[in-house]
Structure 1
């Protein structure tokens, strides 16, 4: 069984602002940089009430690379009016990413309870297609993130990497790719093959890491820090790197348990877990 070699340095470590949710964007930038983190993915809520362009410069002044903006998406809706509202919000996100200096937006694509997944997937493809001119004008890419099937009712009708790759092939745009998150994909028996396919499509835009705790106490807010769960992180990273992927390993952890702890101590644990387990 092939696995990736241990990580020797932090040159590809990115942390999402949601991972240390109690901190402001300014605190995240300062603390991440001081800890040796080299990349940051910014969640849109942290930008509220701020000059986005100045915030982007503040982050870069700390020596951090802005990896992406989270999140856009949520395209499916029962009415044309609501679908247009979703497109308006995504266009706002594209403008925010451009102002921030983020090269891409991660898409949580959405779903509608009671609407067929087939219909929702068509609305997702149509929605992304409608944004491509805006993406080209802003120089901002879109990364489709497949979500675990437990979220297929209301959060995303895109539940496997294969489905995301199908959409990339259908859309045929260099501005559309995939964000692969181990939390959502680790269980998939076709994962190695679909990661390889993603590489052939030049569509692997982002790679997110955390762990799956057993037993889990909350399907959304009880992710594990790397090493706390059952995901074979180094094996999956070996598949990711076999595609030629040179991007960041992005730590994205939603955890009420970890958010309630001292965040300075938690950040030290993140860095150590990255070295020990990613």
Structure 2
């Protein structure tokens, strides 16, 4: 059974990458004016800014800071690269703490030409190395599995089962998962794995958009909810069955939408969210 239709915007979160042409100050103003409840901040949006002041700006606009994107990219074929990734992830944790974000979303990475098993080991080792710092600054880490088409260079974690396995093996209250429908809608075990991470208290984030047919660019041609083949409402029902009551995060990479008037695009997001999520 699908979830009930959404009738307000209180749990709508929009990622800064979704309206990429807007600086974060403009996004904050426009999101607030539109009635959006939350914002997930991408690290590029914080460049050359006082992060603590930016977090306060968002809260002054009555926006909940839902998460910081992104950390990860742990695997490398040399030790120096792996250490540089860990150092950068420590900085991401510090940025999240300054911003007031409860967790950092991890796009875990992969090293082309390296066996996926080795990349997965390096991902787990990298997250384990971060845990003392994550606990010290009070920020959690959300492992986001990516669609298998990205297994070569963007993420060796490609199913929710793999993310759940890793979170359970790390056995930390500071490690969980992010569920993104774009990456996971095809998985026949998805309902069971969502229930599993819900039972374990590992479900930190829920991202929505749609898979267009045909998809013209596998990175930057995501669709608005309702433009594609994902049964978002069904997946949302599984997420909410776990007791999840946090935000539904609209994360859309789209060359087409980035070229449009962003205020008009935001209105389309609101309409799609209310009618197709």
Using structure 2 for the length normalisation, give the TM-score: 1.00
What is the DSSP-based 3-state SS (H/G/I as helix, E as strand, rest coil) of the residue aligned with 2:18?
A: helix
Q: In structure 2, what is the Cα distance between the partners aligned to 1:48 and 1:9? A: 32
What is the DSSP-based 3-state SS (H/G/I as helix, E as strand, rest coil) of the residue aligned with 2:164?
A: helix
What is the DSSP-based 3-state SS (H/G/I as helix, E as strand, rest coil) of the residue aligned with 2:132?
A: helix
Q: In structure 1, what is the Cα distance between the partners aligned to 2:18 and 2:230? A: 18
- 2:5 corresponds in structure 1 to 6
What aligned pairs does 1:1-278 form with structure 2 within 5 A after superposition? 2-278=1-277
Deviations 1:198-257 (A, max 9, x none): 111110000000000000100000000000000001000000000110110000000000
Q: In structure 1, what is the Cα distance between the partners aligned to 2:197 and 2:145? A: 13
What is the DSSP-based 3-state SS (H/G/I as helix, E as strand, rest coil) of the residue aligned with 2:90?
A: helix
Q: In structure 1, what is the Cα distance between the partners aligned to 2:46 and 2:91? A: 13
What is the DSSP-based 3-state SS (H/G/I as helix, E as strand, rest coil) of the residue aligned with 2:217?
A: coil
Deviations 1:7-50 (A, max 9, x none): 01111100000000000000010000100000000000010000
What is the DSSP-based 3-state SS (H/G/I as helix, E as strand, rest coil) of the residue aligned with 1:19?
A: coil
What is the DSSP-based 3-state SS (H/G/I as helix, E as strand, rest coil) of the residue aligned with 2:224?
A: coil
What is the Cα deviation at residue 90 of structure 1? 0.2
Deviations 1:118-153 (A, max 9, x none): 000000000000001101111000000000000000
What is the DSSP-based 3-state SS (H/G/I as helix, E as strand, rest coil) of the residue aligned with 1:20?
A: coil
Using structure 1 for the length normalisation, give the TM-score: 0.99
What is the DSSP-based 3-state SS (H/G/I as helix, E as strand, rest coil) of the residue aligned with 1:50?
A: coil
Q: In structure 1, what is the Cα distance between the partners aligned to 2:44 and 2:218? A: 21
Aligned residue pair count: 277
**Structure 2, unpaired ranges of 5+:** none
Deviations 1:173-206 (A, max 9, x none): 0100000000000000110111011111110000
Q: In structure 2, what is the Cα distance between the partners aligned to 1:152 and 1:70? A: 19
**Structure 1, unpaired ranges of 5+:** none
Question: RMSD across aligned C-alpha pairs, in angstroms?
Answer: 0.4
Q: In structure 2, what is the Cα distance between the partners aligned to 1:196 and 1:56? A: 32
Q: In structure 1, what is the Cα distance between the partners aligned to 2:161 and 2:271? A: 32
- Could you list the runs of 4 or more consecutive aligned residues of structure 1 that deviate by over 4 angstroms after TM superposition? none
Q: In structure 1, what is the Cα distance between the partners aligned to 2:149 and 2:139? A: 29
Q: In structure 2, what is the Cα distance between the partners aligned to 1:243 and 1:54? A: 35
Q: In structure 2, what is the Cα distance between the partners aligned to 1:196 and 1:223? A: 26
